[in-house]
A and B are shown apart, each in its own frame.
Chain A
């Protein structure tokens, strides 16, 4: 018996060793490219061409300056535009998805199940398949080159709706709504002042995801935005990719990449535990 226990322990030790090895290897793969990014964003082009270095250079501020001084690709506008669009999407998508979920969660009406089934069925159909009609419609509505086509559609977000519905099923007892009604609160007021505060954790997680996915969105904004000063960051990255003259200043390229991903990385590192938990509850019933 003793022998068996000892060999069990040895097996466990080996398994533990292998799992740590694999985890460390995967972490290195994930972090390696970002490490190079940090190093090379702080170096001059000549240094980057000469060879790789393990320690950062001293050209951080110089590279930031050249990025912001680039007139053809005005990154400051890109940051502003991306921020306006992403923040608006985060607000609209969480508020209206919660409202839609509340309609189906709290009320009984004839088309309730039909509406719910419909939303679930369209949930996974990607926006790309209707993008042609979308662009043409925006043209005829004179909304090209504006932020409206990138912000307003976020009101109808089936995935966020589904998350909110799941959350309500576990955390929003119908008694609370009834109590508010007895107190004479109107339905709309009940939603804003009683229901929304209860949904706060779900709203926070979904607001972060909505912000990030809008921040990273490339396909549709690239079709809608035409003016250099109205473009968002992913489109500007694509412009850097197409611009051949930038081969002469890789420091600038690395810096632009760093600037584009930094806001999301900072938020993620502050709230990672919360976000990782959000992924788990969001998609499947645990």
Chain B
């Protein structure tokens, strides 16, 4: 890392070169110790049988790809991946639609919305709220005797309390609703930044040609927003894979009802607590590969934006 001697003679700003390396040391040292070495040992562990049977330690014993075969064939991971994707989609689809609408409205010069600052402040607020506290709040207000049921019953809309957390789709719906609330404000702001970057002459030209607002949106705004939409989509997918705090707290880690709201990271967390390092390792490596591919896509989109 500090091999500067070769560069010294060629470079014009001779004596400064070494400072570039010196200032990079804290980052790379920290990254190596706290991220890179852990990643390597995680991968290494994924090839070993290593778990607790009661109080008895089994392994570590080299088993090659057996952990991977086991985790793929026993069906749990596939089921939890499905749960994760379903809950992510249930939150993401409304999120992208609402955010596109709001961003278009906020940036529309003719619409001139008042109190835009207030609305932006409100919709961004849930993003900063502690996800675990937010989930605990939802658990409390959507519980069988909680305020939501009380209000609905008082209003005469329902006769029996709705058991939100005992039903597959209401539980998933609550997780998705929380994810939606936490992220649509953020996405709106990102899309707004993108929309404001579009040359206003294009909109004026469209208006002169008699284009309707919807046509302007689909024919001009959307195509030009494609890079940012891709960025939002991929980063949201990576975020979706990490889904943990909300379903973990909402269901007390059980993924209730009947594991239908158990996510991949909750599954990883379970293996970490039961000290099943072989399985946790294999799962981590699979998640690393998926997020690694998605990260490459983010890198490409950022690199393209920087060049533009």
What is the minimal beta-carbon distance from A264 to any residue of chain B, in angstroms? 5
Which stretch from A17-25, A64-72, A196-204 is at the chain B interface?
A17-25
Bound Cα distance A279, B77 (Å): 34
Query: Would you list which residues of chain A between 214 and 251 have a CB under 8 Å from chain B?
Result: 215-216, 218-219, 223, 233-234, 237-238, 240-242, 250
Q: Given A40-B147, A218-B244, A234-B133, verify A30-B123 contact (CB < 8 Å).
A: yes
Establish whether residues A121 and B295, one from each chain, have CB atoms under 8 Å apart when the complex forms: yes
Count of interface residues, chain A, beta-carbon cutoff 8 Å: 101
Minimal Cβ-Cβ distance residue in B for A243? B252
Query: Would you list which residues of chain A between 107 and 166 have a CB under 8 Å from chain B?
Result: 107-112, 115, 117, 119-137, 149, 152-153, 155-156, 161-162
Residues from chain B with a CB closer than 8 A to the CB of A268 are 125, 128
Q: Mark A61-100, 1 if CB is under 8 A from B, else 0.
A: 0000000000000000000000000000000000011011
What bracket does the count of chain B residues touching chain A fall in?
35 or more
Establish whether residues A279 and B181, one from each chain, have CB atoms under 8 Å apart when the complex forms: no
Is residue B40 contacting chain A, with contact meaning CB distance below 8 A? yes
Is residue A3 contacting chain B, with contact meaning CB distance below 8 A? no
Establish whether residues A283 and B190, one from each chain, have CB atoms under 8 Å apart when the complex forms: yes
Establish whether residues B139 and A265, one from each chain, have CB atoms under 8 Å apart when the complex forms: no
Bound Cα distance A106, B7 (Å): 16
Minimal Cβ-Cβ distance residue in B for A141? B33
Bound Cα distance A234, B41 (Å): 28
What is the minimal beta-carbon distance from A247 to any residue of chain B, in angstroms? 9
Establish whether residues B295 and A260, one from each chain, have CB atoms under 8 Å apart when the complex forms: no
10 contacts between A and B (CB under 8 A): A12-B111, A19-B111, A36-B147, A40-B140, A115-B28, A130-B288, A242-B252, A242-B253, A257-B137, A268-B128
* Chain A residues packing against B (C-beta within 8 Å): 12, 15-16, 19-20, 22-23, 26-27, 29-31, 33, 36-37, 40, 48-49, 51-52, 96-97, 99-100, 102-104, 106-112, 115, 117, 119-137, 149, 152-153, 155-156, 161-162, 181, 187-188, 191, 212, 215-216, 218-219, 223, 233-234, 237-238, 240-242, 250, 253-254, 256-257, 260-261, 264-265, 268-269, 272-273, 275-276, 279-281, 283-286
* Chain B residues packing against A (C-beta within 8 Å): 1, 4, 6-7, 11, 13, 16-17, 19-24, 26-28, 30-31, 33-35, 37-42, 45, 98, 101-102, 105, 110-111, 113, 117, 119-126, 128-134, 136-141, 145, 147, 150-151, 154, 181, 184-186, 189-190, 192-194, 196-197, 213, 228, 231, 234-235, 238, 241-242, 244-245, 248-249, 252-253, 265, 268-269, 272, 277, 280-281, 284-285, 287-288, 291-292, 294-296, 298-299, 302-303, 305-306, 308
